[in-house]
């Protein structure tokens, strides 16, 4: 019985590490929310066609949970290699509900020990959001090795350069204000991040309004190519 439990725990830990590696390998984390389910499905399909295999759907509206459940079904039916992250998770209740809905990863804008506890018990990767060295230190002590820096437009690449030597075992993904230009993306990676999150700069209001989802596919391909070149 003990051996079986140990095997299950090792498999779960391996899954967490594999999911962390997928985010780092892709280097791009598209994130969005929309009330309209059909829009959500269209955006996910457009990103997937562009080569994106990791997407964050944020918990920022009244239809977030039901839309996430529908997206998880779409993933299971036609995009089995897609990793679906639930973002903006700030309470243990939301953490549990989105795990039940099929989330592969939980992402938060803050460090919250109660959310950490749920993720830990369910053996699911949790990425806390941090803005200060103290918050990063708290996350590291809790066992987190992949942390979201937020908001990026306030922190700047110079912040990453300053803290990276202090937290050499931590990998950072930055979100909030990251530009789609090659210069901006290069600056962040050069500073030491392993990935960049993009929301409205990639999935713009005009694209959604005009339903020009092909533009999302084209931009995703372009961004993945830029990041691949930087990583190489």
Asked if 177 and 6 touch (Cβ cutoff 8 Å), the reply is: no
Assigned token pair, 48: 């997937």
Does domain 2-231 match CATH 3.20.20.70?
yes
Residue 2 has pLDDT above 70, yes or no: no
According to DSSP, residue 228 is labeled H
| Mean pLDDT of the region 45-68 | 98
Which residue matches tokens 């103290």? Answer: 134
User: What pLDDT is attached to residue 15?
Assistant: 82
Residue from 166, 175, 119, 128 nearest 147 by CA: 128
**Dihedrals phi, psi of 163, to nearest 5 degrees:** -90, -20
| Mean pLDDT of the region 179-199 | 97
Residue 80 has pLDDT above 50, yes or no: yes
Residue 162 has pLDDT above 90, yes or no: yes
The percent of residues in the chain predicted with pLDDT above 90, rounded, is 92
SS3 193: coil
| Mean pLDDT of the region 170-180 | 95
| Mean pLDDT of the region 5-10 | 44
Distance of CA 102 to the CA centre of its chain: 15
Listed in sequence order, the residues at least 6 apart from 164 whose beta carbon sits closer than 8 Å to its beta carbon are 172, 191, 192
Residue 11 has pLDDT above 70, yes or no: no
Domain boundaries, the chain: 2-231
| Mean pLDDT of the region 84-109 | 98
**Dihedrals phi, psi of 156, to nearest 5 degrees:** 70, 155
- Indicate the burial class of 24 (C-beta count within 10 angstroms; 0-12, 13-18, 19 or more): middle
Residue 13 has pLDDT above 90, yes or no: no
Assigned token pair, 204: 């713009």
User: What pLDDT is attached to residue 3?
Assistant: 54
């Amino acid at each position: 019985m003990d051996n079986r439990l140990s095997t299950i725990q090792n498999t779960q830990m391996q899954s967490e590490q594999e999911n962390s590696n997928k985010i780092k390998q892709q280097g791009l984390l598209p994130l969005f929310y929309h009330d309209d389910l059909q829009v959500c499905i269209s955006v996910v399909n457009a990103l997937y066609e562009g080569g994106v295999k990791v997407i964050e759907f944020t918990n920022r509206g009244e239809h977030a949970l039901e839309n996430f459940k529908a997206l998880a079904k779409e993933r299971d039916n036609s995009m089995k290699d897609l990793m679906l992250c639930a973002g903006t998770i700030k309470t243990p209740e939301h953490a549990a509900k989105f795990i039940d809905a099929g989330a592969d990863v939980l992402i938060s804008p803050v460090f919250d020990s109660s959310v950490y506890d749920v993720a830990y018990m369910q053996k699911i990767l949790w990425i806390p959001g941090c803005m200060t060295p103290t918050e990063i230190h708290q996350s590291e002590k809790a066992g987190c090795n992949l942390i979201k820096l937020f908001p990026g437009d306030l922190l700047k690449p110079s912040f990453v350069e300053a803290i990276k030597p202090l937290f050499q075992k931590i990998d950072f993904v930055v979100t909030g204000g990251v530009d789609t230009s090659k210069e901006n993306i290069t600056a962040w990676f050069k500073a030491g991040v392993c990935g960049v999150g993009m929301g409205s700069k990639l999935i713009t209001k005009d694209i959604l309004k005009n339903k020009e989802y092909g533009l999302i596919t084209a931009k995703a391909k372009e961004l993945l190519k830029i990041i691949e070149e930087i990583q190489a």
